[in-house]
Amino acid sequence: MIITLKDTTTAEIGASLVQLREEGGAVALGRVLTLVIVPTDSGTSTDALIEAANQASKEHPCRVIVVDPAGTRGEPDESTAAGLDAEIRIGGDAGASEVVLLRPLGGARTEVDTLVIPLLLPDAPIVVWWPTNPPEHPGEDPLGRMAQRRISDVGECADAITQLAHLGAVYSPGDTDLSWARTTLWRGITAAALDGASEPVRAVRVYGSKERPSTHLFAAWLASALDLNVTVHPEPDTTAITGLDLERADGTISMRRPEGEVVVTITQPGQPDHELAMPKRPLQDCLMEDLRRMDPDAVYQRTLLNGLARVNVTEG
């Protein structure tokens, strides 16, 4: 069900939510957090973001508040009077969540926090997600200061690697980036391969796209965990991590997942090759992972603050 409200206020939206809860008996009950989505690019599809949030809500029932920068009445204009249009989505249009889509007009576009605050669930954690172009300092942003977790996605920004370095410069506990969640499967199989290893790793090479922050974060995690400098070897026409070499005295552990493939092949000294299914993770899976924890991620912090400085990119 989609309920459209024109020229409304946050008080009217809140009253509508209460009425829906009273009529439906379940709406807004059992929500474990509030997810605030703030697209900063008018070209971003809010429907795609809502769909990802709806899928994630099946594991984390929540109230989703989306601030649509594009609005519904053409491009923003300084002469446009401040106002607010909204949609409330429940039932089949909202997954296991309830979605409030805000479309501010005129000067209201610069007061996102005042629009969102009245709609937050009481006594529930707040997560803010900037799908593109996060604020200069997420932890000091008006919404970011209220949130337990702040999610960016610098992989969707221009000059993503520079943006990734900037995240380290302004890091606050509770910050994370979806590029980190995109490395989870690679980190898992790497840790499993090294579990119980008798020989220390003496050199590490990561292969893949040098333009993707996930490649740099994976290499930085290895640098931090193994206390080694790590080299990224760019592979042309790739869009993700494609491989890894862990060099030890008794041989090299190699992992390869060619571009476009969904299987990683693992080669280890003294063992037959084996394969594991490892497709690229969709957006909703990465978001779902980041909603599982409300405490700061110490491993991400060490990777960002200490590991990135030990990553070297070769020419290519």
Q: How confident is the model at residue 28 (pLDDT cuts 50, 70, 90)?
A: very low
> Alpha carbon of 285 to those of 23, 27, 56, 200, 250: distances in Å?
32, 24, 7, 33, 37
C-alpha to C-alpha distance for 126 and 124, rounded to whole angstroms: 7
Say if residue 282's pLDDT is above 90: yes
pLDDT for 116: 93
pLDDT for 125: 95
What is the dihedral sign for C-alpha 274, 277, 280, 283? Answer: negative
283 Cβ partners below 8 Å, 6+ apart? 48, 52, 178
Q: How confident is the model at residue 19 (pLDDT cuts 50, 70, 90)?
A: confident
Instruction: Supply 125's token pair.
Output: 């954690």
Looking at the DSSP bridge assignments, the partners of residue 251 are: 248
Q: How confident is the model at residue 77 (pLDDT cuts 50, 70, 90)?
A: low
Phi-psi region of 165 (alpha: psi -120 to 50; beta: other; left: phi over 0): alpha
pLDDT for 105: 83
At residue 62, φ and ψ (nearest 5 deg) are -155, 170
pLDDT for 161: 95
Say if residue 74's pLDDT is above 70: no
Looking at the DSSP bridge assignments, the partners of residue 88 are: 3, 100
Mean of pLDDT values over 270-293: 93
Q: How many CA atoms lie within 13 A of 88 on its CB side?
A: 21
pLDDT for 136: 94
Mean of pLDDT values over 71-75: 49
Least trusted range by pLDDT, from 48-62, 95-109, 131-145, 189-203: 95-109
pLDDT for 183: 97
Least trusted range by pLDDT, from 12-21, 22-31, 60-69, 274-283: 22-31
pLDDT for 73: 46
pLDDT for 305: 96
What is the dihedral sign for C-alpha 260, 262, 266, 272? Answer: negative
pLDDT for 42: 62
**165 closest CA partner among 228, 206, 220, 240:** 220
Say if residue 316's pLDDT is above 80: no
For the chain, report the end-to-end CA distance as a whole number of angstroms.
Answer: 52
**56 closest CA partner among 300, 281, 296:** 281
C-alpha to C-alpha distance for 209 and 236, rounded to whole angstroms: 7
Q: How confident is the model at residue 43 (pLDDT cuts 50, 70, 90)?
A: low
Query: What digits encode the pLDDT tens for the residues 99-115?
Result: 999 998 876 677 788 89
Query: What digits encode the pLDDT tens for the residues 190-235?
Result: 999 888 777 899 999 999 999 999 999 999 999 999 999 999 999 9
The sheet carrying 311-313 orders its strands as: 274-277, 263-267, 251-256, 241-248, 201-208, 230-234, 311-313
pLDDT > 70: what percent of the chain? 90
Strand pairing of 311-313 and 230-234? Answer: parallel
C-alpha to C-alpha distance for 149 and 126, rounded to whole angstroms: 7
Query: What digits encode the pLDDT tens for the residues 153-165?
Result: 999 998 999 999 9
